[in-house]
């Protein structure tokens, strides 16, 4: 994902931020203060009145064409051929937008610089451009059928993490999940193949549901690859489980949104139009497209309703963010209560512990408590309530991993808000007694050549805290976590131990990869205040006569001036021999049967002028 506005501003030096702040009437340039001003609607409404058409065109280009993506030089050149302003004026406008803090230069690792408009800036500008209420007109009339989403992507992700925590998932060399494992995972999760056929998670072999949850877990650093297998990262998992539901859902929505729009970044403005509709009322897809077309005008491309439903709304519904319906108005959509645009997740509720060893919890039960429950109970489905079953196997699994019976009982009492059935307590205690009566532990053995040496070591005070116990006549058990410290003390006391060659564990030569490797940023923000001359680098080398006024020249010189204007994408002022003065953007110069002709654009109209008709010419530099 690309950097936020705050991240961009923080990457700039105080000197550069001060120069940006001066354009917005600020004397201080702290990133938070500057970010508030750059996204303040009242300030932007005043600021836009001072912008010329090329600058507004540049802003619209990033709102409706680039969207949730970056713009490379190649895309700028494509756009320049259809602009209503000259390419040089457009380039100048982009430099000014950077100087004002609305655009930023991001440098790729291999050196290319691209343009980026942070999402906070785009949201603020869309709100300024839009007139009236942010709520879309609601759909009216009957609803013929509804298509509700699943239990939500958060549920699938949680279940994937539980399975991954119980047993590390082996990974083949290609980095995917082994066929035996993805069959097991997909059988435990919902099948999403139909709606995800044209999404980034579609794959000919691995099910979309497995690729989806793996991707979301990886992007958040919840899993890591180590020793040729996939495992949870305990520290990051604990942090994620402790998030509020509101924050967790927002992060998941942002990640799924980012992935779905990767191939269609120009849909970003339309999606923001949806997100501004903070209501659970039904809206017709046709109404949404009409509102977007009205907002984008000529700056936006065409979005077909069928493509929008297939590539955006259907996956969004399957992920649990919206509902879909059919009506005489066509396809309708509306936000689910827990989508970030509405954010009406159910309040925290207690669960129930049944005498048949079933535990019922509400869908938005605190996730850290649900995780602890999943350690000693197995998920069994559910609709309005999630059902977990406690059994001998599940309790035994928890005991094997160190969970005490009192922890299990205390958690059940906490989630039930009181006492639990006596038979459930008795069952847990009985199952726990069968497990863990034998312990296997790692130990650091201190072996002596004879009994007298071990007797001597036992009596040395400096070693007392490192020795746990004596086993037999010639062996001491020491703290395995303090091996290096014990080795150093023995050396200082005159008992240097022999060097033992430790066997290599399988897979330990595999590099561990976590969140940092999951999604490399690949960009750094350019820390400089751009100069206007960067827009047309070669303009400085033009003869002053060519740019100062309209003058008559030798025909060969006129040809040179036209070629240079085409090369630098500059405008020409042309005075024809009949006195007509034009200002045009030259596109092409060609020789037809000995007569040189220039083609260009004058006020949006394509024109053709024979050079022999030109009485004077001037290359116009952008101001």
**What per-residue confidence (pLDDT) applies to 377?**
95
- The tens digit of pLDDT for each residue in 249-306 reads 999 999 999 999 988 988 999 999 999 999 999 999 999 999 888 888 877 667 888 9
Q: To the nearest whole percent, how much of the chain has pLDDT over 70?
A: 90
**What per-residue confidence (pLDDT) applies to 466?**
86
Residues with Cβ < 8 Å from 54, sequence gap 6 or more? 85, 89, 90, 92, 93
**What per-residue confidence (pLDDT) applies to 356?**
94
**What per-residue confidence (pLDDT) applies to 383?**
76
Mean pLDDT for the chain overall: 86
The answer to whether 526 and 104 have CB atoms below 8 angstroms apart is yes
**What per-residue confidence (pLDDT) applies to 188?**
59
**What per-residue confidence (pLDDT) applies to 254?**
93
The two structure tokens encoding residue 233: 């990262």
From CA 198, how far away is CA 309, in angstroms rounded? Answer: 12
Rg (CA), the chain: 34
**What per-residue confidence (pLDDT) applies to 190?**
63
From CA 153, how far away is CA 210, in angstroms rounded? Answer: 11
**What per-residue confidence (pLDDT) applies to 430?**
92
The answer to whether 566 and 587 have CB atoms below 8 angstroms apart is yes
First to last CA, the chain: 35
- The tens digit of pLDDT for each residue in 167-189 reads 888 887 766 676 777 666 666 56
From CA 303, how far away is CA 65, in angstroms rounded? Answer: 12
Cα→Cα distances 434→29, 136, 357, 396, Å:
66, 61, 18, 8
**What per-residue confidence (pLDDT) applies to 171?**
81
Strand order in the sheet with 467-471: 444-447, 475-478, 467-471
The two structure tokens encoding residue 147: 């298509």
**What per-residue confidence (pLDDT) applies to 516?**
36
**pLDDT higher at 587 or 203:** 587
3-state secondary structure 150-167: CCCHHHHHHHHHHHHHHC
pLDDT exceeds cutoff 60 at 165: yes
- The tens digit of pLDDT for each residue in 31-83 reads 999 999 999 999 999 999 999 888 998 999 999 989 998 988 777 777 766 66
From CA 348, how far away is CA 473, in angstroms rounded? Answer: 60
The two structure tokens encoding residue 201: 């998670």
Q: Which of 19-23, 163-167, 295-299, 580-584 has the lowest mean pLDDT?
A: 295-299
Q: Quick check: pTM over 0.85?
A: no
Residue whose entry in the numeric block shows the structure tokens 């038979």: 423
The answer to whether 71 and 63 have CB atoms below 8 angstroms apart is no
**pLDDT higher at 374 or 620:** 374
For the segment 439-464, the average pLDDT, to the nearest whole number, is: 85
pLDDT exceeds cutoff 50 at 512: no
**pLDDT higher at 38 or 600:** 38
Q: Which of 29-43, 334-348, 461-475, 538-552 has the lowest mean pLDDT?
A: 334-348
Residue 566: half-sphere exposure toward Cβ, Cα within 13 Å: 15
The answer to whether 338 and 345 have CB atoms below 8 angstroms apart is yes
- The tens digit of pLDDT for each residue in 527-580 reads 999 987 777 777 778 898 998 899 999 999 999 999 998 888 888 999 998 888
**What per-residue confidence (pLDDT) applies to 389?**
96
Q: Name the pLDDT band for 346 (thresholds 50, 70, 90).
A: low
């Amino acid at each position: 994902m690309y950097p936020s506005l705050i991240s961009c501003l923080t990457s700039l030096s105080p000197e550069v931020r001060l120069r940006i702040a001066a354009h917005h009437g600020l004397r201080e340039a702290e990133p938070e203060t500057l970010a508030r001003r750059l996204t303040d609607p009242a300030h932007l409404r005043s600021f836009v009145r001072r912008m010329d058409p090329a600058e507004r065109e540049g802003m619209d280009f990033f709102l409706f064409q680039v969207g949730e993506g970056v713009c490379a030089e190649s895309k700028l050149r494509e756009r320049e051929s259809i602009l209503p302003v000259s390419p040089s004026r457009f380039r100048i406008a982009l430099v000014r937008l950077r100087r004002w803090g609305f655009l930023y230069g991001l440098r790729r690792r291999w050196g290319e610089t691209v343009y980026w408009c942070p999402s906070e800036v785009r949201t603020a500008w869309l709100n300024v451009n839009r007139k009236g209420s942010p709520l879309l007109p609601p759909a009216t009339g009957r609803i013929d059928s509804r298509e509700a989403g699943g239990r939500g992507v958060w549920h699938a992700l949680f279940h994937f993490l539980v399975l991954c925590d119980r047993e590390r998932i082996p990974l083949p060399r290609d980095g995917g999940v082994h066929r035996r494992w993805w069959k097991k995972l997909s059988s435990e999760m919902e099948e999403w193949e139909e709606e995800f056929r044209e999404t980034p998670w579609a794959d000919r072999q691995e099910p979309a549901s497995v690729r989806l949850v793996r991707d979301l877990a990886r992007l958040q650093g919840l899993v890591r690859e180590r020793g040729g297998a996939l495992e949870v990262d305990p520290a990051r998992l604990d942090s994620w489980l402790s998030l509020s539901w509101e924050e967790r859902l927002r992060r998941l929505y942002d990640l799924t949104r980012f992935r779905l729009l990767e191939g269609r970044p120009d849909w970003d403005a339309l999606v923001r139009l949806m997100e501004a509709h903070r209501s659970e009322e039904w809206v017709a897809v046709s109404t949404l497209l009409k509102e977007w077309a009205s907002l984008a005008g000529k700056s936006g491309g065409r979005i077909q309703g069928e493509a929008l439903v297939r590539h955006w709304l259907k996956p969004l519904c399957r992920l649990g963010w919206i509902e879909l319906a059919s009506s005489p108005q066509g396809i309708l959509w509306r936000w689910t209560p827990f989508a970030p645009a509405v954010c009406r997740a159910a309040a925290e509720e207690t669960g129930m512990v049944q005498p048949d060893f079933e535990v019922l919890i509400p869908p938005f039960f605190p996730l850290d408590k649900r995780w602890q429950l999943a350690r000693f109970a197995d998920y069994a489905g559910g609709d309005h309530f999630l059902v977990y079953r406690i059994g001998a196997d599940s309790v035994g699994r928890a005991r094997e991993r160190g969970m005490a019976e009192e922890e299990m009982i205390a958690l059940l009492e906490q989630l039930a808000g009181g006492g639990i059935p006596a038979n459930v307590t008795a069952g847990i205690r009985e199952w726990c007694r069968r497990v863990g009566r034998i312990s296997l532990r790692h130990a650091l053995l201190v072996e002596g050549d004879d009994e007298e040496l071990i007797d001597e070591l036992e009596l040395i005070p400096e070693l007392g805290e490192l020795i746990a116990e004596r086993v037999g006549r010639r062996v001491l058990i020491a703290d395995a976590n303090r091996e290096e410290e014990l080795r150093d003390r023995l050396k200082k006391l005159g008992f240097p131990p022999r060097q033992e060659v430790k066997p290599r564990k399988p897979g330990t030569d595999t590099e561990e990869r976590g969140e940092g490797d999951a999604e490399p940023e690949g960009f750094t923000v350019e820390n400089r205040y751009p100069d206007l001359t960067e827009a047309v680098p070669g303009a400085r080398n033009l003869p002053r006569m060519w740019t100062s006024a309209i003058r008559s020249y030798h025909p060969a010189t006129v040809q040179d001036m036209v070629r240079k204007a085409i090369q630098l994408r500059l405008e020409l002022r042309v005075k024809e021999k009949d006195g007509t003065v034009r200002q045009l953007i030259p596109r092409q110069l060609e020789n037809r049967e000995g007569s040189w002709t220039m083609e260009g654009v004058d006020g949006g109209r394509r024109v053709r002028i024979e050079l022999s008709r030109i009485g004077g010419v001037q290359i116009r530099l952008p101001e």
